[in-house]
Amino acid sequence: MRARKPKAPTVGRSRRNDLPARPDAGGTRLRTGAGLALCILLGGCASVVSSVTEDLAEDLSSAILDSEDLAVVRDGAPAYLIMLDALLRSDPDNPALLSAAATLNGAYGTAFVDDPERGRAFADKALRLAARAACEEIPWTCTVRTDSVATLEGRLPELRREDVPVAYAFATAWAGWIQAYSDDWGAVAELGRVKSLMARLAALDEAYEHGGPRMYMGVFETLVPAALGGRPELGREHFERAIELSGGRFLMARVLLAERYGRLVFDRELHDRELRAALAAEPRQRGMTLANLVAQQQARALLESADDYF
């Protein structure tokens, strides 16, 4: 781990301008749980606990992301979030735990929380955790949200491929926070920074998280029409590349292509074609099942509203 720098800025509505995990082989989960309990009771096993809790965090993330029952995940995920909070109490600076907790908080808030206030609370927490993880692993990100744009642009070439996981978790949490505060121009003003960070991640590893960097770049380029500065055709290229990178298995890329690009340029043919392709696809894919089921729900809703929109 690199030398640590000052802690990341806090996140919250009252200070917006200051805002700035693998399964065990061979079925050893029972033994791992017993070993963790023993270490906690006896103490002196901090490094072992750190390793085990990272595995547990990743296993929890994987179990949720591979779930086929949205209702079970919606009702049960809060318990997992509390468990991650508990793990972080004993290992508060662990980047793997921080990133796992950030990802799950952000995903839960986006997928299952309808109340705007609660949604912003989840976005705040996700960004706070992701910023701490990034600060631990990439010290210059501790102040990235308050540094000048020129400073950020100068730092981005320092990122390496091994930085992608923690930097991607930070970038996606940051983007989710901006979406949650989309009525706040101070928050929206940070979008350019996120876009620059995500572009660097796409250059380093465009296939990460099933083409996630490309998918996000597609969203960024289709936020507004071309007449207002958007670049919808470039956005379409990003979405189509994301679909290609996942072999068409990550269905959210198709849904976003239809929603963000198809509706923006009023291309009904593309809109309906991509949504029907998403609905016809098999959603059960390793690491993608939950997102794919959510994508199919959104695809149905978009098709149902298409006549009114177009």
CA distances from 252 to 93, 123, 158, 183, 260 (A): 32, 20, 30, 25, 11
Q: What is the pLDDT of residue 203?
A: 98
Q: What is the pLDDT of residue 53?
A: 63
User: How far, in Å, CA of 69 to CA of 202, rounded?
Assistant: 31
User: How far, in Å, CA of 88 to CA of 82, rounded?
Assistant: 10
What are 202's two structure tokens? Answer: 């796409």
Under 8 Å between Cβ of 264 and 230: yes
Q: What is the pLDDT of residue 103?
A: 86
More confident residue, 149 or 24: 149
Cα dihedral sign, 180-182-187-193: positive
User: Which of 164, 37, 23, 173 has its CA nearest to residue 98?
Assistant: 173
What are 110's two structure tokens? Answer: 């986006």
Q: What is the pLDDT of residue 97?
A: 87
What are 176's two structure tokens? Answer: 């989710």
Lowest mean pLDDT among 3-17, 126-140, 267-281: 3-17
Name, in order, each residue with C-beta under 8 angstroms of 43's C-beta and a sequence gap of 6 or more: none
User: Which of 122, 61, 58, 69 has its CA nearest to residue 94?
Assistant: 58
Under 8 Å between Cβ of 159 and 201: yes
More confident residue, 34 or 220: 220
Across the chain, mean pLDDT equals 83
Q: What is the pLDDT of residue 201?
A: 98
Average pLDDT over residues 207-235: 95
Under 8 Å between Cβ of 272 and 307: no
Under 8 Å between Cβ of 88 and 97: yes
Q: Which parts of the chain fold into alpha helices (H)?
A: 29-42, 46-65, 70-90, 95-112, 116-137, 149-155, 164-180, 185-188, 191-205, 208-221, 232-245, 251-256, 268-280, 289-304, 306-309
More confident residue, 130 or 44: 130
Q: What is the pLDDT of residue 52?
A: 55
pLDDT tens for 226-235 read: 999 999 999 9
Average pLDDT over residues 198-208: 97
**Polymer length of the chain:** 310
The pLDDT > 70 percentage for the chain reads: 81
Confidence of residue 108 (pLDDT cuts 50, 70, 90): confident
**Unique residue bearing structure tokens 């800025």:** 9
Q: What is the pLDDT of residue 42?
A: 36
Residue 15 pLDDT exceeds 80:
no
More confident residue, 31 or 84: 84
DSSP structural state of residue 115:
S
Residue 255 pLDDT exceeds 60:
yes
pLDDT tens for 47-99 read: 334 555 667 666 766 777 777 777 888 888 888 889 889 989 988 999 988 99
Under 8 Å between Cβ of 218 and 261: yes
Confidence of residue 216 (pLDDT cuts 50, 70, 90): very high
Report the 10 Å Cβ neighbour count for 283. 18
Confidence of residue 290 (pLDDT cuts 50, 70, 90): confident
Q: What is the pLDDT of residue 41?
A: 37
User: Which of 139, 156, 35, 55 has its CA nearest to residue 96?
Assistant: 55
pLDDT tens for 130-185 read: 999 999 999 999 999 999 889 999 999 999 999 999 999 999 999 999 999 999 99
What are 282's two structure tokens? Answer: 């098999």
Give the SS3 label for residue 145: coil
pTM, two decimals, is 0.80
User: How far, in Å, CA of 276 to CA of 65, rounded?
Assistant: 23
